[in-house]
Amino acid sequence: MRVRADRDVCIGAGLCVVTAGEVFDQDDDGIVVVLDEHPADVAAAREAVANCPSGALSLEE
């Protein structure tokens, strides 16, 4: 599984960082940065992807 983030779609809500802070961070503009494309905590990554309000996040199985 691989985590992907479309930085052009991200609206900087930051929910992903709250849900899976070891997988996602935000840059100075609040736009998502993927810290770990292959996270150990798959459940948290899935939850973050499901909860992203902009649909910027996805999982490649």
Q: Considering beta carbons, is residue 5 or 45 the nearer one to ligand SF4?
A: 5
Considering beta carbons, is residue 33 or 38 the nearer one to ligand SF4? Answer: 33
All residues at 6 or more sequence positions from 48 whose CB lies less than 8 Å from its CB, including other chains:
15, 16, 19, 20, 23, 24, 57
Closest separation between CB of residue 45 and ligand SF4, Å? 12
What gap in Å lies between CA 25 and CA 36, rounded to an integer?
10
The site for ligand SF4 (CB under 6 A) is made up of: 5, 10-16, 24, 26, 32, 52-54, 56-57
